[in-house]
Structure 1
Amino acid sequence: MRIFRKITTPSNYHHHQLRSYVSTCRAVVLPSFGGADKLQLRSDVPVPPLKPNHVLVRTRAVSVNPLDTRMRSGYGRSIFEPLLPLILGRDVSGEVAAVGESVRSVIVGQEVFGALHPTAVRGTYTDYAILSDDEVTPKPTSLSHVEASAIPFAALTAWRALKSTARISEGQRILIVGGGGAVGFAAIQIAVAAGCNVATTCGSQSVDRILAVGAEQAVDYVAEDVELAIKGKFDAVLDTIGVPETERMGINFLKRGGHYMTLQGEAASLTDRFGLAIGLPAATTFLLKRQIQYRYSHGIEYSWTFMRADIEGLIEIRKLCEAGKMKIPVDKTFPITQVKEAHEAKDNKLIPGKVVLELD
């Protein structure tokens, strides 16, 4: 690794000091789509120059999200194929190594965490990740880098659905379908913190920890008939499973004026099947039809939800973490040198919960 090239920042910058800046670093590169064996750890991957709003993060931990293994297998190929090789990874926890000249929110040396947008091409499976200043915030001091890295992408996905789309408020009833996964578990904690009454469906192994963070009801969908076990109607349903059966059920559990939100929107899969020119308009049409259909038949709002960078959301998530109201359990960590093994474990469903890669 060529280590440091000194660069000066403009004299009006409020930290008058020389910045050290790396030109190359280690990164896990994906040259083509496929199995975990496609991932390559390279030691001389270029670090592009920072734009004015960029933050260079010395990575300590990154979590493996379902999006990472899906992208590796070719999900979203219509968007990403022309951009190969990719660096996967969305979440990061680490220290600020350098900042662009317009960054004021964090300073060099500070511990931070954050997440990239789903379509970012240069991800976080690298010693030096680059995020914009609205994608990082100081790391909660109560959490280790491993714990912190598991949170931002999942929590921001849940935040966008519950806070931006459904605009949940105190006293409302919220149903989370699939509360055991990272997004579902984050959503439960966000809704509980907002003063909502939360019911959820989950696997038997998740029941205890879901009740422990304040959900009123956790229904084991294997052992129980969900539609008999859950009573009454809800103001919002977040469906993290997104199969036709959970969609039908979720819609039927809503009050008039309620919000159904699914993580499994058709945009990427339709676009992959038919290409951008046909697939994206087809997905838009499909969504619009659903929205009109459900507004007419059930009087509810229907939406596809996905993570977007949102600095207010990230700051609120940090505050929840610091107050002990947001945590996503990490089941296993791997060193970055074992990234293939980590992906294989997720592919083969050997580890149900969060997997984190550590970088030293």
Structure 2
Amino acid sequence: MNDAERTMRAVQISGRGGVEHMHEAIVPRPIAVHSEVLVRVSASSINPVDVKTRAGGGYAAAITEYPVILGHDFCGEVVKAPYETHRLAVGTRVYGVTVPPRLQGTHAEYVPVPDLFVAPAPQSLSDAEAACVPLAFLTAWQCLTDVGQVRPGQKVFINAAAGGVGHFAVQIARMLGAVVTASCSQRNVDFVADLGAQRVVAYDVDEIEHAVRGQDVTLDLVGNREQNTGTRSLSTLRRGGMLISVPASGWPSMVEDARALGVRATHFTFSPSGSMLAQAASLFDRGRIRVHVDAVLPLENAVEAYERIATRAGRGKTALTIGQPTAPPREHAAAAGADWDG
């Protein structure tokens, strides 16, 4: 093995703060052990938690030593499997999610990942599209099904519906049979309506606590980091309804504040699940769910990608291309679109 085969490109974070702590580096290529698969990464994505962790929030408290490689999502090709007859054999095109900083992140050319976090990638999606699915989709899916237990006919309100998690949540809630109200900026109203929301409230025009009432489940993707949006979202619920708060920047008295209003509230953190991602792949390939990728940037432009997320510059997701594409997606986008019933 020559030196090039022992190393890889990666974007590292050298400390807490801004873009001055991000740099591209040549680092040792990781080795997969036990049940891990080693994936050659063709694409990844940026999530808000990556930006928060870089700044010192998010999961930064778990970082014991810098530099670190961030990034949760990936699409790529298995180059080492745990054993010869493993379900994720060498050469399999896969997508999945990992959990930095406990494990190495995906803003790198190679990543070792527990096999339970990985599934064959949707055939209808490009590598960049597939890499934008895992964390955001799993968050939306688990919030609405595992925690909210959304049933047909229930009223569901999704705050910040034009973002990565939000744009999946609108579609999933509709697929579950809910009556969906969503909020976004005025410029994104048509985009969110097209995802399937029956009613869209522009939060920069109307105050959500007055415009939205009587919901069974409210999915809050903002928290109290801006204009006490999380606290105000409690007023959107019917008595006994549930607020699910995704941002780590929820607020300390959330549960007590909810109880005082006769509603329920819980924080939420996603769980990696290859089995759920395998089910998701079928939904994407049948056109039941779609992913919106607002921008695709190369790894060397990771700083720009992070800043897009920090400033909430786009809709849906932002992807990073890292290595060579694994394989072109099947040419059935038109058929998938025809099957869309959101």
Output the TM-score relative to the length of structure 2.
0.85
Other-structure match for 2:189? 207
Q: Indicate yes or no: 2:286 matched with 1:323.
A: yes
Which residue number corresponds to residue 39 of structure 1?
22
State whether structure 2 residue 245 is matched by structure 1 residue 259: no
Q: Give the letter aligned to residue 92 of structure 2.
A: Q
> Which residue type is aligned with residue 291 of structure 2?
I
| Residue 175 (structure 2) pairs with residue 193 (structure 1) | yes
Give the Cα separation in 2 of the matches to 1:322 and 1:217.
Answer: 27
- TM-aligned CA deviation for residue 236 of structure 1: 0.8
Tell me by how many angstroms 1:154 deviates. Answer: 0.8
Structure 2: distance between partners of 1:353 and 1:215: 15
Find the residue that maps to 1:162 and give its secondary structure.
helix
Q: Report what 1:242 is aligned to.
A: 223
> Counterpart amino acid of 1:291?
V
Q: Is 1:233–2:214 an aligned residue pair?
A: yes
Give the equivalent residue in structure 1 for 2:255. 291
Deviations 1:298-333 (A, max 9, x none): 443211112221233322322221221222311211
Q: How many residues of Structure 1 are paired with residues of Structure 2 in the alignment?
A: 320
Aligned position for 1:181: 163
Q: Is the 8 A contact 1:331 1:355 kept in 2?
A: yes
The match for 2:306 is 343
> In the aligned structure 2, how far is the partner of 1:254 from the partner of 1:345?
32
Instruction: Determine which of 70, 73, 81 is the counterpart of 1:99.
Output: 81
Aligned partner of residue 207 in structure 1, secondary structure: helix
1:18-73 per-residue CA deviation (whole Å, 9 max, x = no partner) reads xxxx5322211222222223222222x22333122111111111111111122112
Q: Tell me if structure 2 keeps the 8 A contact 1:105–1:133.
A: no
Match of 2:98 in 1: 116
- Describe how 1:13-24 pairs up with structure 2 within 5 A: 23-24=6-7
Q: What amino acid maps onto 1:317 in structure 2?
A: A
Deviations 1:69-127 (A, max 9, x none): 221122243221x1321101111011111112398332211111111135434100111
Contact persistence 1:86–1:121 (CA under 8 A): no
- CA distance in structure 2 between the partners assigned to 1:357 and 1:207 by the alignment: 26
Letter in 2 for 1:238: L
Unaligned runs of 5+ in 2: 324-342
> How much has 1:348 moved relative to structure 2?
4.7
Q: CA deviation at 1:138?
A: 0.8
Q: In structure 2, how many angstroms separate the alpha carbons of the residues matched to 1:205 and 1:118? A: 34
The answer on whether the counterparts of 1:25 and 1:126 sit within 8 Å (CA) in structure 2 is: yes
Q: Is contact 2:31-2:112 (8 Å) kept?
A: no
Q: 1:176 and 1:166 mapped to 2: Cα distance? A: 12
Q: Which deviates more from structure 2 when the two are superposed, residues 309-318 or residues 150-159?
A: 309-318
Moved more, 178-187 or 299-308: 299-308
- The 1:315/1:169 distance shift into structure 2, 3 A limit, reads farther
User: Does residue 1:78 correspond to 2:41, yes or no?
Assistant: no
Query: What secondary structure sits across from 1:87 in the alignment?
Result: coil
Paired residue type of 1:131: V
Q: Which amino acid aligns with 1:90?
A: H
Change (3 A) 1:177 1:347: closer
Q: Which residue of 1 aligns with 2:339?
A: none
What is the SS of the residue equivalent to 1:219? strand
Q: Distance in 2 between matches of 1:129 and 1:293?
A: 42
Alignment match, 1:138: 120
Q: Percent identity?
A: 30
- Give the aligned partner of residue 30 of structure 1: 13
For residues 107-157 of structure 1, what are the alpha-carbon distances to aligned partners after superposition, in whole Å with 9 as ceiling and x for unaligned? 211111111135434100111112111211111101000111111111111
Residues 325, 204 of structure 1: alpha-carbon distance in 2 compared, 3 angstrom cutoff: farther
Task: List runs of 5+ in structure 1 lacking aligned partners.
Answer: 5-21, 268-282
1:129 is aligned to: 111
CA distance in 2, matches of 1:189, 1:349: 21
1:50 aligns with 2:32: yes
Counterpart contact for 1:103–1:133, Cα < 8 Å: no
**Structure 1 counterpart of 2:228, which letter?**
E
CA distance in 2, matches of 1:123, 1:183: 20
Tell me if 1:332 matches 2:308. Answer: no
1:47 alignment partner AA: R
| Structure with greater Cα Rg | 1
- Offset at 1:292? 5.1
Q: Which residue of 1 aligns with 2:332?
A: none
More deviation in 248-257 or 341-350? 341-350
Quote the offset at 1:264 in angstroms: 2.2
Moved more, 115-124 or 136-145: 115-124
Change (3 A) 1:239 1:66: same
Which of 120, 126, 144 does residue 162 from structure 1 map onto? 144
Distance 1:89 1:2, change over 3 A: farther
The structure 2 residue matched to 1:306, chosen from 245, 269, 272, is 269
Equivalent in the alignment of 1:280: none
